Amino acid sequence: MPITNLPNHRKTTLSPLVFLALTLAAALLGPTGCSRAKAQTGLKCSLVELRPNPSTHYYDAVVRVDSVTIRDPLKERFQAVTFSSTHDLSTLKFTAEGADPVRLEAGDTFVIPLKRPDWKFSILESNAELCAERFWDRLPPDDRWHPTKTEGMAVALSIEITNERGVLKPAPISLPPEWRLTDETEPTADNAIGTATYRKQRGGRLVEQVEIQYARLTDEQKAQLEAGSPADFLSGWSECAKSGGVSGTIAGHAALVCDLEGVGDFGWTYRFFYTTSGLVVAADIQSDPAELGKTDAEKELERRTDQVFLRYGYGPLGKEEWQVMIELRMNRTGAFHKRSRAGETVDKDFHVSDDEFSAIEKALAEHDFWLLESHSTIGPGFESFISVRTDERARTVSMKNSHEPPFEDIAKTIRGIILPKVNENGMEPPTR
């Protein structure tokens, strides 16, 4: 998390916050998330107008070519790229053209369809950026994407200081669906920096992230804080404050804020830090701009990857001692496998409806699958397991010669939906 640099204090020993500075400074000097080459000079263009588009409830960019010095500038050589899409220039609508319709000429004017939350366009040839324009400031305020308008910001604003086993640390008290704590390091005698990373993931893809770091202030640092303003104290620890950080208020705390476009995996990081309860708390908010305005239906479609959602295995069954495995994926497809003790195998594919998938999810929820415990006895016998994986968590519950009604009810629901689809009703376990 790229937040701070070394302070301006004269002490040579490293305080906890200096460790925080050392830990966080490197990323500020790292990649900005844009791997394209710097704009060349062979093509100059400018944004003429942001034209409202009633069908998209957003805008189209009307772009004019101001000059072209590229040899043989065939339109088919170029692409118009925005955050949300890529268009071959030759396929775009030209509202003004020169004498040669297949080549770019000064004065050519074309329209780039935009989607929320586009705020920049680039004209590329291969991977070289020839001209680009950022128009975020020209958008109406309500249409400007910003990290502060995201769910990640709401998570960060809910941070409070908690006491866990005598250790004070910051943690969000409100985590919306899809969010979970993915990484945590508590302060130790050797490392005074505590960290916590909260992520929102969907379909195996990172969508938003809040990174928190914190350190306890020494008595000397507390005295320095009391002697001046929070902004003055914090600016001594923040490299970003020296190049544009501003004072602000975050969740009732006097804070120093850095708005860092071009930094982070999604090209924009909002960073704040403040002091509270004898701690310095730093947070980075990074969010995929494409989340803005995304519908529930679009989010559900993103979840439907080929990732395996559920595995249910059981056996042995019958004289052949069949072992059965059922796999169900997030995209509603699945596979039924069975193997006999002699090595005979049967494999069949299937598909479930949304209602059937929901029925399995309902059975897992109603019977508290995430709270079930495994049970087994020593020796041979009938074994079964159910393994479930979502973006937020994963759990496997196993049974051996044990009859647990909640587990059995879930297993019965799975078999009742899947076995008829693959004509394997004979693969029901023996009645207990």
pLDDT tens for each residue of 304-327: 888 899 999 999 999 999 999 999
Annotate the chain with three-state secondary structure: CCCCCCCCCCCCCCCHHHHHHHHHHHHHCCCCCCCCCCCCCCEEEEEEEEEEECCCCEEEEEEEEEEECCCCCEHHHEEEEECCCEEEHHHCEEEECCCCCCECCCCCEEEEECCCCCCEEEEEECCEEEEEEECHHHCCHHHCCCHHHCHHHHHHHCEEEEEECCEEEEEECCCCCCEEEEEEECCCCCCCCEEEEEEEEECCEEEEEEEEEEEECCHHHHHHHHHCCHHHHHHCCCHHHHCCCEEEEECCEEEEEEEEECCCCCCEEEEEEEEECCEEEEEEEEECHHHCCCCHHHHHHHHCCCCEEEEEEEEEECCCCEEEEEEEECCCEEEEEEECCCCCEEEEEEECCHHHHHHHHHHHHHCCHHHCCCEECCCCCCEEEEEEECCCCEEEEEEECCCCHHHHHHHHHHHHHHHHHHCCHHHCCCCC
Residue with tokens 């950080």: 245
The model's confidence at residue 64, banded by pLDDT at 50, 70 and 90, is very high
> Which class does domain 43-126 fall in?
mainly beta
Is the per-residue pLDDT at 32 higher than 50? Answer: no
Reading the block at residue 29, the tokens are: 């000097």
Contact 84, 76 (CB under 8 A): no
Measured distance CA(5)–CA(20) in Å, rounded: 9
- pLDDT for residue 41: 62
> Which class does domain 304-427 fall in?
alpha beta
pLDDT tens for each residue of 216-238: 998 988 988 888 888 888 877 66
Is the per-residue pLDDT at 34 higher than 90? Answer: no
pLDDT tens for each residue of 329-375: 999 999 999 999 999 999 999 999 999 999 999 999 999 999 999 99
N residues, the chain:
432
Domain boundaries, the chain: 16-32+145-291, 43-126, 304-427
Measured distance CA(254)–CA(248) in Å, rounded: 6
Give the percent of the chain with pLDDT over 90.
Answer: 65
Terminal alpha carbon distance of the chain: 55
Is the per-residue pLDDT at 29 higher than 70? Answer: no
- pLDDT for residue 33: 34
Counting other chains too, the contacts that 99-105 makes at CB distance below 8 Å and 24 or more residues apart are: 102/74, 102/75, 102/76, 103/72, 103/73, 103/74, 103/75, 104/43, 104/65, 104/68, 104/70, 104/73, 104/74, 104/75, 104/78, 105/65, 105/68, 105/73
- pLDDT for residue 270: 96
pLDDT tens for each residue of 181-193: 999 998 888 888 8
Q: What is the mean predicted confidence (pLDDT) over 122-149?
A: 93
pLDDT tens for each residue of 81-135: 998 899 999 999 999 998 999 999 999 999 999 999 999 999 999 889 999 999 9
Could you tell me which residue, 264 or 18, shows the higher pLDDT?
Answer: 264
Contact 114, 51 (CB under 8 A): no
Q: What is the mean predicted confidence (pLDDT) over 210-215?
A: 94
* Distance of alpha carbon 242 from the chain centroid: 29
pLDDT tens for each residue of 261-303: 989 989 899 999 899 999 999 999 999 998 887 888 888 888 8
- pLDDT for residue 301: 86
Instruction: Give domain 16-32+145-291's CATH architecture.
Output: 3-Layer(aba) Sandwich (3.40)
CA-to-CA dists, residue 95 to 98, 109, 110, 112, 115, angstroms: 11, 6, 6, 11, 20
Reading the block at residue 309, the tokens are: 């959602």
Could you tell me which residue, 361 or 23, shows the higher pLDDT?
Answer: 361
Mean pLDDT of the chain: 86
CA-to-CA dists, residue 312 to 52, 62, 388, angstroms: 52, 55, 9
Q: What is the mean predicted confidence (pLDDT) over 152-168?
A: 92
CA-to-CA dists, residue 218 to 115, 235, 279, angstroms: 49, 17, 9
- pLDDT for residue 352: 95
Residue 146 CB contacts under 8 Å (≥ 6 apart), including other chains:
268, 270
The model's confidence at residue 422, banded by pLDDT at 50, 70 and 90, is very high
Closest alpha carbon to 4 in 251, 242, 253, 267: 242
Q: What is the mean predicted confidence (pLDDT) over 24-32?
A: 30
- pLDDT for residue 382: 92
